[in-house]
Amino acid sequence: MFMMSFRLKRATLLVGGIVVVLGLVLGVGAWSRAFGGTVEVDSTTPVSEKNVKVQKVTGKTNEDRLDFIKSFGWEIEEEPSEIMEVIIPAEFDDVYDNYNAIQKKQGMDLKSLAGKRCKRYSYVVTNYPGTDQAVRVNLLVYKNKIVGGDVCSLDANGFIHGFNAPQ
């Protein structure tokens, strides 16, 4: 058996950590510029007659989430295609300001959750009208409550809007 040990000084460890964080920040920035970093708000999407009250919309179980999505008329695959932990940014940039504008139209606001961790559940939409693009419904769930989300296309020149179907 071969064993190896290292002893690092705090200064070396600190510099190494800074280099790694800086590399990640620059990498994300380059990726964002290369693949676009904007979210366009579809201002023609009608606002639901009933405002969604975050306190009353449970998203604890898959059945709760399915019922919520189906209440907007979407037909979806029963199991999420992706479950991911996300962090709402502590400070919103233009992208998140635009995304939060979509949430506000739905009676939701992510500002109060700035810096918080939540889960994003993505479901495949099977009845989106007038397109053959891959479409997903995304739900943001915080402490078992649905606090936001969207309907979006996975196409590079796709769309994003609130839970209501476009008219």
Q: Is residue 60 domain-shared with residue 127, that is, in the same domain?
A: yes
Q: Residue 25: give the domain boundaries.
A: 8-35
Q: Is residue 25 domain-shared with residue 85, that is, in the same domain?
A: no
User: CA geometry: angle at 147 spanning 167 and 138, to 5°?
Assistant: 55
Q: Is residue 89 domain-shared with residue 154, that is, in the same domain?
A: yes
Report the pLDDT value the prediction gives residue 51, as an integer from 0 to 100: 39
Task: Write out the E strands in the chain.
Answer: 82-87, 117-124, 135-142, 145-153, 160-161
Q: Which residues of the chain have pLDDT under 70?
A: 1-56
Q: Which residues lie closer than 8 Å to 76 by C-beta, 6 or more apart? A: 66, 69, 70, 123, 124, 125, 126, 137
Report the pLDDT value the prediction gives residue 132, as an integer from 0 to 100: 84
Q: Is residue 22 domain-shared with residue 58, that is, in the same domain?
A: no
Is residue 167 one of the residues assigned to a domain?
Answer: no
Q: Is residue 95 domain-shared with residue 124, that is, in the same domain?
A: yes
Report the pLDDT value the prediction gives residue 3, as an integer from 0 to 100: 55
Q: Is residue 93 domain-shared with residue 150, that is, in the same domain?
A: yes
Is residue 43 one of the residues assigned to a domain?
Answer: no
